[in-house]
Amino acid sequence: MARIKVPRKSTAMDMTAMCDVAFLLLTFFILTAKIRQDDPLHVDVPASTVTQIVPDDNIATLSVGQNKIFFGIEGTDIRIQLLEEMAKKYNLPAFTPDEEKRFSSIPTFGVPLNQLKQFIALDEEGRKTFPQPGVPTDSTANNELSNWIYEARIVTRNLKNQELRFAIKGNAKDEFPAYKKVVDVLQKQSINKFSLITSLKTK
Amino acid sequence: MAELDTSGGGKHKGGKIRSKKASTRIDLTAMVDLAFLLITFFIMTTTLAKPKAMDMFMPDKSKPDVQLPVPETRTMTVWLGANDKIEWFVGKPGGSQPTIDNFGKDGIRKSLVEQNKKIKETHQAPDNDMIVLVKASDHATYKDFVNMLDELNIAGITRYGVVDITAPEVAQLKKDGNY
């Protein structure tokens, strides 16, 4: 009996097309990537139907949650200038260029000024575990947040010749007065226009 | 010209010198593996869902004297109470019993659209849009507040203001068990 011979096919595939597609996708993702930054203050933002995207530059973000307020501003040059101005305002010993450089890489922080030097000295891992009490806003005499905002506006005007925009990132579950406190700080400086950061409602 | 003869043997005496035909195919498996690994990495680290910004305008507090006279019949006052409850009424405070409402399609959204329509019909043309005053109590959550502004957006109401709640209004909310 003659055996039926199965023709042996090569197992090697032509991968050229697959390779092309893979690299095309890779290029797309590299170009659109913006590495996710860890938020030191976990804020669960409420959802809304607005579709306007938060601008990337010239914006200061005030995160509100767990009875703390965190302050963040975009732009490394602005951060450096801002730190210098704040040190001047509170008569702190001037920060070294190295400290300024380290500060310029911190996206958001929530420490009072007297702990700031210590906070800057930490590395990225250390900052994550550092207990950040939030930027103080309580009394009118020690309203550091108000001064951060005020100086940030001046610095932005000087460097970019633009009005600084503000965005509030509030926790959905928090009660209204927590949010109101931040708005009051802004309104005291006649900032009546700002944005509320929300996520897109999936409905 | 100096050329390097890499062929091993010296067998081709007189015959044609044949160059070795190498296959043009390269094994791409490793390259594809690497590409997909990188794709996975970039997919995981990107944030495709960018946060959205809701623009907010607050009334200017530094000039308290520029209050525009607003007819009360065109004003709808909305109180945000505890437990996601809303109370609203049209007209003078104390004029009518406030309606207790919920969020959602059949709740405040419907009320806003209905009241807006009613006011449009009963008032003269240029000044016939509804004005909504949002007053959040201390026990309302931030989510409620954002939801309320969102509902106003959906209903297409452009004239609204966020105002502080007053003591008698809180008392009314308390009486209805929404504080």
**Residue B24 belongs to some domain of the structure:** no
Question: Cβ neighbours of residue B178 under 8 Å, at least 6 residues apart?
Answer: B79, B81, B82, B83, B85, B87, B100
- Among residues B142, B143, B117, which one has the least CA distance to residue B128? B117
State how many domains chain B has.
1
Q: Which domain holds residue A63?
A: 47-200
- Which residues of chain A are within 8 Å of residue B46 when distances are taken between CB atoms? 29, 32-36
Q: Which domain holds residue B104?
A: 72-175
Averaged confidence pLDDT in chain B: 77
Nearest Cα residue in chain A from B80: A176
Overall average pLDDT of the B63-77 stretch: 71
**Residue B90 belongs to some domain of the structure:** yes
**Residue A27 belongs to some domain of the structure:** no
Specify the 3-state DSSP secondary structure of B86. strand
State how many domains chain A has.
1
What CATH number does the domain containing B118 carry? 3.30.420.270
**Residue B102 belongs to some domain of the structure:** yes
**Residue B4 belongs to some domain of the structure:** no
A29/B49 touch (CB, cutoff 8 Å), yes or no: no
- B131-136 and B99-101 strand pairing: unpaired
pLDDT confidence of B1, banded at 50, 70, 90?
A: very low
pLDDT (tens digit per residue) in A143-193:
888 888 888 888 888 888 888 888 888 888 888 888 888 888 888 888 888
Which percentage of chain B shows pLDDT scores above 90? 1
Q: Chain A, 120-139: which have a CB under 8 Å from a chain B CB?
A: none
Which DSSP state fits B127?
Answer: T
Q: Which residues of chain A have pLDDT under 70?
A: 1, 34-38, 139-142, 202-203
Q: Does the structure's ipTM exceed the value 0.90? A: no
List the single residue in A12, A30, A201 with the smallest CB-CB distance to B42.
Answer: A30
Q: Answer yes or no: pTM beyond 0.95.
A: no
Q: Are A198 and B52 in contact (CB under 8 A)?
A: yes
The pair of structure tokens assigned to B31 is 């390259």
Q: Are A28 and B41 in contact (CB under 8 A)?
A: no
pLDDT (tens digit per residue) in B13-51:
556 777 877 777 778 888 889 999 998 888 887 766 677
- Which residues of chain A are within 8 Å of residue B66 when distances are taken between CB atoms? none
Nearest Cα residue in chain B from A165: B55
**Residue B35 belongs to some domain of the structure:** no
